[in-house]
Chain A
């Protein structure tokens, strides 16, 4: 299956700063990547679908100006949390959709964001 990496794995920042999270598909060219957020003891919440070369598609309730997504190449998508606040503290996970039948989704290891 596809190998997906994320960087950083853990980040602590001050309120008001911006944080960039990278998601890389190491062995697969991904035209589509997904960004999820997961709060403690809750399920994954899809934030947005990142499409290579075009604008991301955001889920309802997700502020596109706050969570900037850039899918500049077939192997890299970035999520930037702008002006982060403590309520943005969460586990952010990206995934890659592969397989001719779209039946395989591989997740990155996740990024733990803590905003002080």
Chain B
């Protein structure tokens, strides 16, 4: 079956760095996405990786290893507004998104 695993909850301190991991097993692979979702709102796109390596975009970076079925989202210089759920999703061979359950990130002052 298809499966996306990510931690349920993480806590970090304002100004620090946090890494949110995601492992996946899917039928085919057409890219991995990270989305940020604040409570009561729709997800917003953060990153897309289809090739191995690190993609950096401001304070956020996303890494992918296809051979390991692994990705991480790295958030630097954490701000209170970064408190949200972070969803990992993989696009399978049918171009359908398989969603992880999300990681709730709590930022403490």
Residues on A facing B (Cβ under 8 Å): 1, 34, 42-46, 49, 91, 93, 97, 101-110, 112
Contact = CB atoms under 8 A, between A and B. Distances in A.
B69 interface: no
Nearest to A59: B96
B87 interface: yes
A107 B42 contact: yes
A93 B95 contact: no
A41 B43 CA distance: 13
Interface residues of B, number: 20
A102 B30 contact: yes
B40 to A, nearest CB: 8
Contact of B101 (A34, A43, A91, A93): A43
Given A44-B99, A97-B95, A102-B91, A107 B44 contact: yes
A103 B102 contact: no
Interface of B: 30-31, 33, 40-45, 48, 50, 87, 91, 95-97, 99-102
The interface residues of chain A, by DSSP majority, are classed as strand
B99 A43 contact: yes
B34 to A, nearest CB: 12
B62 to A, nearest CB: 13
A110 to B, nearest CB: 4
Given A42-B101, A43-B87, A43-B99, A103 B30 contact: yes
